[in-house]
């Protein structure tokens, strides 16, 4: 759709940790010039390899609370023992410029965005192919993120909670093959861009077509 003005969409990817969400997000960002990621703020300590302003804005509890109190968060939630939130300004700017935005947020944040902007929201939930696969991925990842056995167990327990919210999503991807999952996530994004309600310039365009007949 190059000729028509289009409203940006909000593409939410949620999943239990270890289901491949980060890999899929990175691939979508690489393959879509018009797509931008929403960088969350969090009170969680930085993990090895994470970069402030790129993976998250790492802030302390007071700074996080100030952002919430000042209305600077579009949504926020407590996940595990930490707070996470979506800064409002970059999202509003991107949407105004007709860009699409991808959010890596949990079900609580997704519900809040739905209340704010249901029309603009595309909700995608990623499931692991099996419990064993999820556990394997969490354990592999813990080697680089230096998570403890207790933290891994905590994530396994939380995975069940997170997964129980799959019915609140529009699309489900079962990630048994990462390349296939990336293709599916891309297909959803591509199709959603053609939704009639997002095409602001459509009525003028069709009027022009009819006038020429």
Residues in touch with ligand 5GP (CB under 6 A): 17, 40, 44, 75, 77, 79, 84-86, 104-106, 108-109
Provide, rounded to whole angstroms, the least separation between the CB of residue 193 and ligand 5GP.
23
Name which of 106 and 120 has its Cβ closer to ligand 5GP. Answer: 106
User: What are the beta bridge partners of residue 103?
Assistant: 12
Provide, rounded to whole angstroms, the least separation between the CB of residue 27 and ligand 5GP.
17
Provide, rounded to whole angstroms, the least separation between the CB of residue 78 and ligand 5GP.
9
Provide, rounded to whole angstroms, the least separation between the CB of residue 119 and ligand 5GP.
20
Minimal CB distance residue for ligand 5GP: 109
Q: Which of 122, 100, 125, 109 is nearest to 181 (CA)?
A: 125
Name which of 64 and 193 has its Cβ closer to ligand 5GP. Answer: 64
CA 26/CA 107 separation, integer angstroms? 20
Name which of 83 and 188 has its Cβ closer to ligand 5GP. Answer: 83
């Amino acid at each position: 759709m190059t000729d028509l003005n289009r409203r940006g969409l909000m593409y939410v990817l949620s999943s239990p940790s270890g289901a491949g969400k980060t890999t899929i997000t990175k691939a979508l960002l690489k393959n879509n010039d018009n797509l931008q990621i929403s960088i969350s703020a969090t009170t969680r300590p930085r993990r090895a390899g994470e970069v402030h302003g790129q993976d998250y804005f790492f802030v302390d509890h007071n700074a996080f609370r100030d952002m919430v109190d000042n209305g600077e968060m579009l949504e926020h939630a407590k996940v595990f023992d930490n707070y996470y939130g979506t800064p409002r300004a970059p999202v509003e700017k991107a949407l105004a410029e007709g860009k699409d935005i991808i959010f890596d947020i949990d079900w609580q944040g997704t519900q809040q965005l739905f209340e704010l902007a249901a029309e603009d929201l595309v909700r995608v939930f990623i499931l692991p192919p099996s419990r064993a696969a999820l556990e394997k991925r969490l354990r592999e990842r813990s080697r680089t993120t230096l998570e403890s056995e207790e933290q891994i167990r905590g994530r396994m327990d939380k995975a069940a909670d997170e997964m129980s919210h799959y019915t609140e999503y529009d699309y489900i991807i079962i990630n048994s093959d990462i390349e296939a999952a990336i293709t599916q996530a891309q297909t959803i994004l591509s199709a959603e861009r053609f939704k009639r309600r997002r095409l602001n310039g459509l009525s003028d365009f069709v009027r022009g077509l009819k006038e020429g007949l």
